[in-house]
């Protein structure tokens, strides 16, 4: 039986916390901590479970010594970081100092420069190795499940993988003209970066959202999908070294794109501070304060997400085309957890990754990406814990986009 410390109490945390509480055969104690203790306490009251002991605490996870103090107070077996990517490094450093397993769901970022690369976290490999504990990076859906999907395909259906196209489609509607499905600041930083994909050992860069393809997706229908950069491109290229091309596509509606364009044009998506009435403000952080809290979208969002990978390559000299994906219903996710599908599809894999690490099924010492462990137990748990996946060998595109 294990004790988990969850840092963060937002949209993704709310699902991870509930799934951890449901998995009381693995976890019997949980601490929930963030800067807003009242929100953490609300989760404790809401769970009200006699199967798992849950307490709330305060932490400002920007400061390593605070996290060290919190870990030494509670002695968790693992820290599940579902705060923001800004807190990854301080929390990782605290886990090294206290010899505690670590997990996150998104690549580390710094506040004053949009962008991310795994190198900033991979440099901690030796320190985690010396501490004898695991840091599991990117245990959400994308990154996370998309990497596990790819390794499952490699293990069972391919000798060599040539191409991976990751498709993240949201067929949900929350009724707002403009809102983001997870933390607005992190989401807008990601979307407004230049598009980038991996090809033959290097990266091809394109203007943001400048390449669109239409995919015909199960239970969602045709979706306009835009090429973006995403962190699992970097880890997949590293751990599937023969791969020739990896692309990531996300769906956006026209209203979202029009609002985003206007906001960008007037400077509201900038991360550079400006002086306003004698006070420095960051436009994107101000915008975040105006937008709906993603945690509040649950009751309003109807429709489904469809996230998966089209993988092409060879087995025994024959060409293979394979598609693996999950469809998640926003309303079903809300009924079970009070959250929409984006939070659900991230919070469930966070719990699964944590369970596999504390059970020693995913075992090691060092910093690991999802690609480095056996995909089978994770795939099994996806079916068991609410994210069933489907596979087929049919194309899912209206046209085949090979450029
Ligand atoms: P929210 O904004 O809803 O929640 C963020 C939480 O982080 C809040 O509870 C906040 O609490 C906490 N937090 C922020 N700063 C600190 C701090 N200094 N110390 C302690 N806690 C802090 O975000 P989401 O739940 O939407 O996203 C959470 C994470 O999940 C993000 O990293 C996001 O990138 C990732 N994500 C990953 C996905 C995937 O598929 N891999 C998909 C979607 C999201 P408080 O203010 O009280 O401190």
Q: Which of 137, 169, 200 is the last residue of a domain?
A: 137
Q: Which of 14, 18, 64, 83 to mutate to test the pocket of ligand 1 (most atoms within 8 A of CB)?
A: 83
Look at residue 403 in the predicted model and tell me its pLDDT. 55
Asked if residue 83 belongs to a domain, the reply is yes
Q: Which of 183, 298, 343 to mutate to test the pocket of ligand 1 (most atoms within 8 A of CB)?
A: 183
CB count in 10 Å sphere of residue 153? 24
* Same domain, residue pair 106 and 171: no
* Same domain, residue pair 132 and 233: no
Q: Which of 120, 137, 154 is the last residue of a domain?
A: 137
Tell me how far the alpha carbon of residue 182 is from its chain's centroid: 10
* Same domain, residue pair 75 and 158: no
Look at residue 114 in the predicted model and tell me its pLDDT. 81
Q: Tell me, in angstroms, the distance from the centre of ligand 1 to residue 12's CA.
A: 7
- The number of folded domains in the chain is 2
Asked if residue 252 belongs to a domain, the reply is yes
* Same domain, residue pair 176 and 103: no
CB 60 near ligand 1, within 6 Å: yes
Q: Tell me, in angstroms, the distance from the centre of ligand 1 to residue 241's CA.
A: 32
Look at residue 182 in the predicted model and tell me its pLDDT. 84
Q: Per-residue b/e over 6-18, b at no fewer than 16 CB within 10 Å? A: bbbbbbbbbbbbb
Q: Per-residue DSSP letters for 315-355?
A: ETTEEEEEEEEEEEEHHHHHHHHSS-HHHHHHHHHHHHHHH
Asked if residue 373 belongs to a domain, the reply is no
* Same domain, residue pair 166 and 114: no
Asked if residue 357 belongs to a domain, the reply is no
Angle at CA of residue 271, ends 269 and 276, nearest 5°: 90
Look at residue 113 in the predicted model and tell me its pLDDT. 84
Q: Tell me, in angstroms, the distance from the centre of ligand 1 to residue 182's CA.
A: 8
Return d(Cα 22, Cα 47) in angstroms, integer. 10
Look at residue 332 in the predicted model and tell me its pLDDT. 97
Q: What is this structure's pTM?
A: 0.95
Any idea what the CATH number is for the domain that residue 119 is in?
Answer: 3.40.50.720
CB 36 near ligand 1, within 6 Å: yes
* Same domain, residue pair 325 and 302: yes
Q: Tell me, in angstroms, the distance from the centre of ligand 1 to residue 232's CA.
A: 19
Per-residue pLDDT of the chain (403 residues; tens, 9 = 90+): 999 999 999 999 999 999 999 999 999 999 999 999 999 999 999 997 889 999 999 999 999 999 999 999 999 999 999 999 999 999 999 999 999 999 999 999 998 888 889 999 999 999 999 999 999 999 999 999 999 999 999 999 999 999 999 999 999 999 998 999 888 888 888 888 999 999 999 999 999 999 999 999 999 999 999 999 999 999 999 999 999 999 999 999 888 999 999 999 999 999 899 999 999 999 999 999 999 988 888 899 999 999 999 999 999 999 999 999 999 999 999 999 999 999 999 999 999 999 999 999 999 999 999 999 999 999 999 999 999 999 998 766 655 566 5
The whole domain housing 285 covers 145-339+388-392
CB 370 near ligand 1, within 6 Å: no
Contact assessment for residue 357 and residue 104, using Cβ atoms and an 8 Å cutoff: no
Nearest Cα residue to atom 41 of ligand 1:
140
* Same domain, residue pair 310 and 185: yes
Q: Which of 137, 156, 191 is the last residue of a domain?
A: 137
Asked if residue 303 belongs to a domain, the reply is yes
* Same domain, residue pair 22 and 94: yes
* Same domain, residue pair 54 and 96: yes
* Same domain, residue pair 27 and 63: yes
Look at residue 298 in the predicted model and tell me its pLDDT. 87
| Phi, psi of 118, rounded to the nearest 5 degrees | -65, -20
Any idea what the CATH number is for the domain that residue 293 is in?
Answer: 3.30.360.10
The residues, ordered by sequence, that sit 6+ positions from 157 with a Cβ below 8 Å of its Cβ are 311, 315, 320, 322
Q: Which of 37, 69, 84, 149 to mutate to test the pocket of ligand 1 (most atoms within 8 A of CB)?
A: 84
Asked if residue 305 belongs to a domain, the reply is yes
Q: Rounded to whole angstroms, what are the CA distances from 330 to 172, 335, 388?
A: 7, 9, 14
* Same domain, residue pair 159 and 269: yes
* Same domain, residue pair 130 and 162: no
Return d(Cα 144, Cα 319) in angstroms, integer. 26
Q: What is the number of the ligand 1 atom nearest to the C-alpha of 85?
A: 32
Return d(Cα 230, Cα 331) in angstroms, integer. 27
CB 10 near ligand 1, within 6 Å: yes
CB 83 near ligand 1, within 6 Å: yes
Asked if residue 315 belongs to a domain, the reply is yes
CB 34 near ligand 1, within 6 Å: yes
Asked if residue 314 belongs to a domain, the reply is yes
């Amino acid at each position: 039986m294990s004790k988990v410390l969850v840092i963060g109490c937002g949209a993704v945390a709310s699902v991870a916390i509930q799934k951890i509480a449901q998995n009381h055969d693995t976890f019997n104690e949980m601490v929930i901590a963030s800067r807003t203790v009242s929100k953490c306490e609300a989760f404790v009251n809401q769970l009200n479970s006699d199967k798992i002991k849950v307490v709330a605490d305060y932490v400002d996870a920007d400061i390593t010594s605070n996290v060290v103090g919190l870990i030494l107070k509670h002695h968790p077996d693992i820290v599940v970081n579902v705060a923001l990517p800004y807190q990854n490094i301080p929390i990782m450093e605290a886990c090294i100092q206290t010899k505690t397993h670590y997990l996150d769901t998104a690549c580390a970022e710094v506040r004053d420069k949009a962008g991310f690369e795994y190198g900033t976290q991979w440099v901690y490999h030796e320190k985690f190795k010396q501490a004898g504990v695991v840091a599991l990076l990117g245990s959400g859906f994308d990154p996370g499940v998309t990497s596990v999907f790819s390794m499952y395909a490699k293990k069972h259906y391919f000798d060599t993988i040539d191409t991976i196209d990751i498709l993240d489609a949201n067929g949900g509607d929350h009724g707002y003209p403009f809102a983001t499905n997870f933390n607005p600041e992190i989401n807008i930083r990601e979307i407004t970066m230049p598009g980038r994909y991996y090809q033959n050992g290097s990266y091809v860069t394109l203007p943001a959202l400048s390449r669109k393809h239409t995919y015909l997706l199960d239970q969602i229908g045709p979706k306009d999908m835009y090429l973006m950069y995403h962190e699992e491109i970097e880890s997949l290229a590293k751990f599937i070294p023969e791969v020739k091309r990896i692309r990531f596509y996300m769906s956006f509606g026209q209203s979202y794109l029009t609002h985003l364009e206007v906001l960008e044009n007037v400077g509201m998506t900038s991360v550079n501070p400006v002086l306003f009435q004698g006070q420095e403000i960051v436009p994107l952080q101000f915008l975040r304060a105006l937008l709906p809290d993603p945690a509040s979208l649950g009751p309003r969002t109807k429709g489904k997400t469809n996230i998966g990978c089209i993988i092409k390559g060879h087995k025994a000299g024959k060409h293979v085309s394979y598609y693996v994906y999950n469809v998640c219903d926003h309303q079903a996710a809300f009924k079970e957890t009070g959250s929409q599908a984006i939070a659900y599809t991230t919070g469930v894999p966070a719990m699964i990754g944590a369970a596999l690490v504390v059970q020693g099924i995913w075992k090691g010492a060092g910093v690991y990406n999802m690609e480095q462990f056996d995909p089978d137990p994770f795939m099994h748990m996806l079916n068991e814990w609410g994210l069933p996946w489907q596979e087929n060998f049919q194309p899912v595109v209206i046209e085949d986009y090979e450029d």
